[in-house]
């Protein structure tokens, strides 16, 4: 078995991996840097990897996520994101770095790169979260330009949706709303980011898990990082990314930790989880990674030198 294949089996497919398995026992770790992201993001992960190799870790996270935010064909994030039920695109994003600093924006309108604004909140303000008009004013003061984010395609779908205005949030491989990205550089430092237009046709003013540190994203450079996708309300009420990192702190592998966090969601939402999707990806200090979701169909992308691949996450339901 090749080095890469061995690492992948150990990290993503070994459902039976013992909770006590130690990193030193793992065969052939993959080369650093490593970038992982929720959903298929081959091009964007490659952008991140290149930026990490030529610049630094945070540049990689920011530029990788910018690559999705700038793509009008991607209706999950930034330009072209699906609007709320009043037809307005509102964006949420957060970033967390190896120094345990964090920045976030919520309910940001008309600025297509919320992850970049979140980075500046982290670096240039005494705060972690800026919301709404304050976030917009801050972005403008930093030179960001306002633009219409609702593309013709997203508008057309929204107008169609208005005919019934039936709200049933659905998250699957075709219909998802978030990129969460985690990376470890060649020094073994970890950072991550998360950006979203939130659930399509959400109520006006709704903010999900994605900009909330501990819910949509958490990084602890001593342990690892995790990020979430899916029904934000369920991630918020279990602080799922924080929980996943804490499970890794207790000795679980990334995949085991993602599974344990999903199981917490299932246990706490016994009557509703069958209709809901929540998925986590995680990366640990040793470069191991894993993912798990409630429903099948959650995919994630793993990228390192000479390797860029989309995987199906294991899931609780078949």
**CB-nearer residue toward ligand SD4: 192 or 208:** 208
- Residue 114 binds to ligand SD4 (criterion: CB under 6 A): no
Round to whole Å and give the CA distance between 247 and 260. 8
Query: Is 178 tagged catalytic?
Result: yes
- Residue 211 binds to ligand SD4 (criterion: CB under 6 A): no
Burial 226-254 (b: 16+ CB within 10 A, else e): bbbbbbbbbbbebbbbbbbbbbbeeebbb
Q: Tokens 């998925």 — which residue?
A: 279
Q: Say which of 12, 38, 90, 178 is annotated catalytic.
A: 178
DSSP secondary structure string for all residues of 59-95: HHHHHHHHHHHT-TT-TTSSTT----TTS--EEEEEE
Selected range binding ligand SD4 among 145-153, 206-214, 246-254, 299-307, rule: CB under 6 A: 206-214
- Work out how close the CB of 278 gets to ligand SD4 at its nearest, in angstroms, rounded to a whole number: 8
- Residue 67 binds to ligand SD4 (criterion: CB under 6 A): no
- Residue 199 binds to ligand SD4 (criterion: CB under 6 A): yes
Identify residues 226-265 at the interface with ligand SD4 (CB under 6 A): 229-232
Among 104, 110, 178, 293, binds ligand SD4 (CB under 6 A): 178
Round to whole Å and give the CA distance between 125 and 127. 5
Selected range binding ligand SD4 among 111-119, 160-168, 191-199, 262-270, rule: CB under 6 A: 191-199
Round to whole Å and give the CA distance between 202 and 196. 12
- Work out how close the CB of 189 gets to ligand SD4 at its nearest, in angstroms, rounded to a whole number: 26
- Work out how close the CB of 76 gets to ligand SD4 at its nearest, in angstroms, rounded to a whole number: 7
Residue 22 and residue 256 in contact, taking contact as beta carbons nearer than 8 Å: no
- Residue 198 binds to ligand SD4 (criterion: CB under 6 A): yes
- Residue 69 binds to ligand SD4 (criterion: CB under 6 A): no
Q: Is the dihedral of CA 36, 196, 187, 308 positive or negative?
A: positive
- Work out how close the CB of 180 gets to ligand SD4 at its nearest, in angstroms, rounded to a whole number: 8
Identify residues 133-172 at the interface with ligand SD4 (CB under 6 A): 171
Query: How would you write 145-188 as a 3-class SS string?
Result: CCCCCCCHHHHHHHHHHHCCCCCCCCCCCCCCCEEEEEEECCCC
User: Under 8 Å CB-to-CB from 250, ≥6 apart: which residues?
Assistant: none
Among 208, 214, 254, 290, binds ligand SD4 (CB under 6 A): 208
- Residue 196 binds to ligand SD4 (criterion: CB under 6 A): yes
49 sits in which H/E element:
helix 42-54
Pairing of the two strands 102-109 and 129-131: parallel
Residues engaged in binding ligand SD4 (CB under 6 A): 171, 176-178, 196, 198-199, 208-210, 229-232
List the catalytic residues: 178
């Amino acid at each position: 078995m090749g080095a890469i294949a061995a690492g992948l089996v150990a990290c993503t497919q070994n459902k039976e991996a013992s909770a006590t398995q130690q990193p030193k026992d793992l065969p052939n770790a993959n080369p650093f840097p490593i970038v992982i992201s929720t959903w298929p993001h081959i091009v964007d992960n490659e952008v991140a990897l290149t930026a990490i190799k030529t610049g630094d870790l945070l540049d990689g996270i920011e530029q990788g996520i910018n690559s999705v935010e700038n793509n009008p064909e991607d209706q999950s994030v930034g330009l072209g994101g699906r609007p709320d039920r009043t037809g307005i695109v509102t964006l949420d994003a957060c970033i967390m770095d190896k120094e345990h600093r964090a920045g976030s924006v919520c309910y940001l309108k008309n600025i297509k790169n919320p992850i970049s604004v979140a980075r500046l909140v982290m670096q240039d303000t005494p705060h972690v979260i800026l919301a709404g008009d304050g976030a917009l004013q801050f972005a403008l003061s930093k030179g960001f330009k306002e633009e219409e984010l609702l593309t013709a395609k997203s508008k057309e779908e929204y107008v169609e949706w208005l005919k019934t205005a039936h709200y049933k949030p659905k998250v699957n491989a075709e219909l998802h709303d978030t990129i969460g990205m985690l990376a470890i550089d060649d020094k073994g430092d970890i950072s991550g980011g998360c950006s979203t237009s939130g659930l399509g046709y959400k109520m006006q003013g709704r903010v999900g898990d994605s900009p909330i540190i501990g819910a949509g994203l958490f990084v602890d450079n001593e342990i690892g990082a995790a990020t979430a996708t899916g029904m934000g309300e369920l991630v918020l009420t279990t602080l799922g990314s924080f929980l996943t990192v804490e499970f890794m702190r207790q000795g679980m592998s990334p995949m085991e930790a993602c599974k344990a966090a999903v199981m917490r969601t299932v246990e706490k939402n016994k009557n509703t989880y069958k209709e809901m999707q929540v998925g986590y990806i995680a990366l640990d200090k040793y470069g191991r990674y894993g993912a798990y979701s409630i429903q099948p169909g959650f995919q994630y992308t793993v990228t390192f030198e000479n390797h860029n691949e989309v995987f199906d996450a294991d899931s609780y339901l078949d």
